[in-house]
Amino acid sequence: MKELTPKQLRAVCSVKGLKCKSSADFTPLKDIVGQKRALQALSFGLEISDHGFNIYVSGGHGTGRTTAVTTYLNEIASKEPVPSDVLYVSNFSDPYQPRALMLSAGKGKALVVDLDNFVEAARNSITKMLESEEFVTSREDRRSQYERVRNDILTKMQEKAQKAGFALRGTQTGLVIVPVVEGEEVKRSQVAKMSAEERESIENRREVLETELRKLFRALQTLERELVAALKKMEEDAVRFTLNPIIDDFLDEYTNYPEVSEFIHDIAKDITENLSIFMGRQEGNVTLPPQQQSRRISPEEFSKRYKANLIVDNSEQEGAPVMIITNPTYSNLFGRIEKEPRFGTLFTDYSMIRPGALHKVNGGYLVVPVRELLTSPLSYPALKRALQNNHVVIEEPAEQVGFLSMKTLRPESIPLKIKVVIIGDPFIYQQLYILDPDFRELFKVKADFDTSMDRTEKNIRLYCQFIRSLTQKEELRELAAEAIAEVVDYSSRLAENQAKLSVHFGVIADIIREANHYAKEDRKRLIERKHIIKALEARLYRSNLLEEKIRELIEKEVILITTKGEVVGQINGLSVLSLGDFAFGRPSRVTASVAPGRGRVIDIEREAGLGGSIHHKGVHILSGYLSEKFGRDKPLSLSARLVFEQSYSGVEGDSASSTELYALLSALSGVPIQQRFAVTGSVNQHGEIQAIGGVNEKIEGYFAVCKVTGLTGDQGVLIPKANIQNLMLKEEIVKAVEAGKFHIFAVDTIDEGIELLTGRPASEINKLADKRLQEMANVMREFSTPPK
């Protein structure tokens, strides 16, 4: 047991050498955090290109893990090649499955322009060709030949009709055979008045004539079809001949892209097959084949099918892309197919395909927060499928679960080459690793970020550089050396260790931003130490309302806490209440009562349903200590009850187990405990005091109560010796200890603590307790012995 000196209560940072001299001294955040283990794991995962070596970055929120990872990724990505552009174009053989083109960076944007120029050049050249004298003359010659043959056939038909006694007359429905008698055409009514023999003669001759004319009609129809086919072939040959040099000029820029060559030849074929629509010669609107639904379009809109939809443009990208997606919904990850209302229905085509994050960072690195990924429907399973298949597919979300049966676009999938970095906490990693076999196969690398780093001179200088880089980036005032020292000391308090610095840079940055506000109010050029202290005090004031209320109840003796005098079986315990953004220490009165019984130590908190399992374990350890210490020569025949007085909420943890044991020893020995002390620390079955958490808050909580009830100069706290390294107390308490107004003792064993609390040797306390237990054993023996 020893009383701690002021120097042991707080690590104080020296102001010497804290100022950064120039911006050249800035160190990237990935170096400042001192996360050597995590960064080595991250580097290992990035270097291996094998399937499944994606990375899970594990660490606490606000530790700078996201900033460190993205900084590291950007540094690596800047040295890697720029990935390909991605475009979607029409698939003329199956418009429901648009084709994907992948071109080197910058070529995609060029292809979009070149396709527009190609279509315009094709239209102009075809127009000139169709209007050329040579083509017009050839077409007219072919038609003249047709007219001559047609006229010959028609003349033969007239001659056969005349020879058979008929005439051919043209009507709206075609050629009509009219009987001729004595050089005059006979009407149907006149034929009806003729004799039966004459009518029969006319009908017989008509049947013979119709048979002969039918052969001539077929020949005429064949001639017309041949003319149409010949004119079409002539036109198509001329169009192909016209387009060939344009295609050759176009492909000079895309010699290494066979898929572009195939597509441009498909365009030429489609133009040839739909020349009338392409040239705008067809009257009215035409149907664009095919679409999600048939609809009529103007000829000008027809050419849109030859455009390219550039969904990923890397023309201005330097190195591989790095992206953080904070809202990883299915559409944001995998893209979507947009639709627009037309004529009372929804319309879509390949030009409405929109990319997702996987398209944009294909060939690079994607950073995804795990909680958002898991809470976005369909996103996590679809991401696993993409990584397993090494392809990214754009499809309707409803298709993922089989809810959509409507025919829609199914764009061609794109090869996926990407490193996914998931950022989350250790608990989620453990659950995924245990419950999801796919996760183990796909995320084989874990980069574990620590919450603190060693408080060395080098790391303090790096901390200084981080502060300087923050102030420069956000245009804040610079910090004076004393202010930087205060920030460093606060960082050690966050880490709860004099030899560590916290890497919760988010909290540190918020303190500096608030201190900058106070410096601005004071019209100071630098952020001074008082501004940092004011920011810390303001942060505390905004959250400590409950602490003040409890302290007020203690002052008014509504909550009973005694800091003077001596009481048997009663002691001041220390606990920590956490409100999420704020934690504070609260003293509690712990009492113990004993009586003859069957060797049970009853935890009243547990019996009332207020005690947690760890606290209950601590109470069982007390039974083990008593058995080890006093039960070697007799059975323990006591019934002891322990309780946190005026506690109406749950009690958890074993940090009060030593406190309860002190109260129990006092109740057994009958020796009072000095109420000027408060105690914290867990204990094992051998009476050794073990470290606990929240030691600073507990000491500060009891000191505040002593201030309210009146400092007497002899009040103090007992803490485990193992917790000395965790002390980063407020300057007010350090000064009170230095002035002898408050005391902090570090103890190793229960015997050391009981001596300090009672003012008597531990051997005497133990002897009295053993004597009382022997008396209880005798009493129980008397009651258990049957009367004679």
Residue type for 374, please? L
What Rg do the C-alpha atoms of the chain give, in angstroms? 47
Q: What are phi and psi of 146, to 5 degrees?
A: -65, -45
Q: What is the DSSP letter of 305?
A: G
Task: Tell me the CB-side half-sphere exposure of residue 562, using CA atoms within 13 A.
Answer: 14
The tokens describing 760, both together, are 């008597």
CA distance 548 to 550: 5
Angle at 439 between CA 438 and CA 444, to 5 degrees: 115
Find where tokens 């679809």 sit: 382
The tokens describing 164, both together, are 């058979």
Rounded (10°) CA dihedral 57, 62, 66, 68: -100
| Run of H or E including 323 | strand 322-324
Find where tokens 């005090």 sit: 537
* Bridge partner residues of 493 (DSSP): none
Crossing angle of helices 196-251 and 133-163, in 10° steps, is 170
Angle at 22 between CA 21 and CA 25, to 5 degrees: 95
The tokens describing 619, both together, are 């109470």
b/e string for 502-522 if b means 16 or more Cβ within 10 A?
bbbbeebbebbebbbbbbeee
3-state secondary structure (DSSP) of residue 582: coil
332 contacts 373 by C-beta, under 8 angstroms = no
Task: Tell me the CB-side half-sphere exposure of residue 669, using CA atoms within 13 A.
Answer: 26
CA distance 570 to 37: 48
The DSSP-derived string for 138-160 is HHHHHHHHHHHHHHHHHHHHHHH
Q: Nearest Cα to 268, choosing from 130, 121, 412? A: 121
The alpha helices in 404-480, defined as continuous H runs, are 426-435, 437-442, 457-473
Residue type for 602, please? I
Q: Nearest Cα to 337, choosing from 326, 325, 323, 347? A: 347
717 contacts 688 by C-beta, under 8 angstroms = no
449 contacts 38 by C-beta, under 8 angstroms = yes
CA 772 to chain centre: 64
Q: Is 655 a catalytic residue?
A: yes
375 contacts 352 by C-beta, under 8 angstroms = no
Q: Is 7 a catalytic residue?
A: no
73 contacts 321 by C-beta, under 8 angstroms = no
Report CA-CA distances (Å) from 747 to 630, 673, 714, 776.
22, 16, 17, 31
Question: Per the residue annotation, which of 107, 500, 534, 698 is the catalytic one?
Answer: 698
Rounded (10°) CA dihedral 627, 629, 635, 637: -80
Q: Nearest Cα to 32, choosing from 453, 392, 530? A: 453
Question: Per the residue annotation, which of 303, 655, 658, 666 is the catalytic one?
Answer: 655
Report CA-CA distances (Å) from 557 to 546, 551, 552, 648.
17, 10, 9, 17
* Bridge partner residues of 322 (DSSP): 365
In terms of phi and psi (left: phi > 0; alpha: psi -120 to 50; beta: otherwise), the region of 162 is alpha
| Run of H or E including 585 | strand 583-596
The DSSP-derived string for 514-531 is HHHHHHHHTT-SSB-HHH
Which residues are annotated as catalytic? 655, 698
